[in-house]
Amino acid sequence: MLGLNKNDTTLFVVIIILTILAPFLLNPFPTESTLAQFNAGYPDLMEKFVVFGIFAIGFNILFGLTGYLSFGHAAFLGVGSYSAVWIYKLFTYNVLPALVLAVIVSGIFAILIGFVSLRRSGIYFSILTLAFAQMSFALAYSVLSNPKFNLTNGETGLQIYANDLQLFHRESLPNFPHIFGLSMGSTYKLGVGPWEFQFNVAYYFCAIMMILSFYFAIRLFRSPFGMMLRAIKSNQQRLNYTGLNSRPYMLAAFVISGMYAGLAGGLLAVTDPLAGAERMQWTASGEVVLMTILGGAGTLIGPVLGAGFIKYFENIFSKINDQVLHQWFAFLPDGLEDFLVAIVHPFIGKGWHLTLGILFMLVVIFLPGGLVEGGQRIARTARRLMNRDKAADAANVSAD
């Protein structure tokens, strides 16, 4: 189907189903339940799942296939956001032109950075990308916020206002990002007994973009170009000895990866029409590295799983406070309750990074292939147990 083999088609269909049913799957607990705080089926968080999933998929094309570790991909995320917001301010709130410009500008920016950075490999490449990202952050935060040519609005961030130029905006259209008049902020709420499910236009628009991005990544992974990138990762020096120049392939992978990041940045401006320099900080680049490694670098679905895992921790686990812990341990004697709260306290709320760091170390040590490897191990164990049971049943039948 769609040029994919059986396994890839199955994976693609699973991604589509999970994406469409996300409002149901991520809201397993009733609204009034004490466990409802673990629900993730609200638009803002679901949008982050798919947008950062796109970001991680693009990063995986570079890091997972070629082994080149970039610490500067947040620069493309920020450039995409700024480009999209400028389309809103100057021309129209329609999201399609904003995304097109975000991808194009990020691609051009990636060509410039990649042309210089790819002259080196290994740690030197990583440091170069980090340097370019930090320079981009400094430009956005201060230099380009100069009143004479204010392109980024500094620490306040670039926002849309009622008095923007808006050459092609009409009064009949929403004063908010939309697609042909359908506002991205529109949300339909469905009540089913004690549950409430939310279906948001921006989420499904971003989800469609992620599905298309995932499909393109599958085709790229299985293409001769993808095989060439794997050869670069395997042994670039030996590849060069054959007389084949690997640099154009590396630059192409870097640019495609940057365009994915630009698309993710543009989608961030779709869900929240604001572009700030903080999206270009080194921490954002480090986050996508964690997402990819945690999910499984070099795999197709791994980066999406890693992005969802980290964003869930960031938005759900970080909201747990001492009051919630006291509710959980209320059945215990007061002294023991206070003791357990004191023990767990450093790992929740603002300390959620500590928990994430421990989990990341455990994954790297025991599951080098990330969450995908964990799932594969569970599947192999389940198959082995099933086969053992079938063999035992067959032996019993033959004995009878």
The predicted-structure confidence for 322-353, as pLDDT tens digits, reads as follows: 888 888 888 888 888 888 888 988 888 888 88
Residue where the block lists tokens 């192409």: 252
User: pLDDT tens digits for 246-289?
Assistant: 899 999 999 999 999 999 999 999 999 989 888 898 888 999 99
Residue 116 is given by DSSP the state H
Classify residue 327: in a domain, yes or no.
Answer: no
CB of 139 closer than 8 Å to CB of 55: no
Q: Specify the CATH number for the domain of residue 200.
A: 1.10.3470
Q: Give the pair of three-digit tokens for residue 37.
A: 């705080």
Q: Give the pair of three-digit tokens for residue 221.
A: 């992974």
Classify residue 237: in a domain, yes or no.
Answer: yes
Total structural domains within the chain? 1
User: pLDDT tens digits for 175-206?
Assistant: 889 998 899 999 999 998 889 999 999 999 99
What's the pLDDT band for 315 if we cut at 50, 70, 90?
Answer: confident
Classify residue 111: in a domain, yes or no.
Answer: yes
What is the pTM assigned to this prediction?
0.93
Classify residue 332: in a domain, yes or no.
Answer: no
Classify residue 369: in a domain, yes or no.
Answer: no
Q: Find the domain containing 30 and state its range.
A: 6-301
Classify residue 366: in a domain, yes or no.
Answer: no
Classify residue 136: in a domain, yes or no.
Answer: yes
Classify residue 185: in a domain, yes or no.
Answer: yes
Phi, psi of 197 (to 5 degrees): -115, 140
Q: Provide the phi-psi class of 280: left if phi over 0, else alpha when psi is between -120 and 50, else beta.
A: alpha
CB of 28 closer than 8 Å to CB of 39: yes
